[in-house]
């Protein structure tokens, strides 16, 4: 299985770095999940924008039940 680093970034106006982090946390816990990501593997950086319907459908499946994940 490959390893990836998945990142999101959001421009947030705040007075301090801590406030910006708290505002980001609030948006992640109370709002819809972001759809734009940067994905990095050992050789390249890829920009990915997910389709909301497909992403919600994928998230609804219990992927731990897949024997390939054991």
Domain range summary for the chain, segments of one domain joined by +: 5-69
Over the stretch 21-32, which tens digit does the pLDDT of each residue have? Answer: 999 999 999 988
Does pLDDT of 51 surpass 90? yes
| Phi-psi label, residue 55: left if phi above 0, alpha if psi -120 to 50, beta otherwise | alpha
Does pLDDT of 66 surpass 70? no
Has this prediction a pTM greater than 0.75? no
What percent of the chain lies above the pLDDT cut of 70?
Answer: 91
């Amino acid at each position: 299985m490959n390893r990836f680093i998945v990142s999101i970034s959001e421009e947030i106006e705040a007075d301090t770095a801590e406030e910006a982090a708290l505002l980001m946390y609030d948006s992640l816990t109370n709002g819809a999940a972001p759809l734009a990501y940067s994905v990095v593997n050992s050789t390249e950086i890829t920009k990915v924008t997910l389709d909301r319907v497909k992403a919600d459908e994928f998230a609804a499946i219990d992927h731990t039940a897949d024997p390939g994940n054991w």
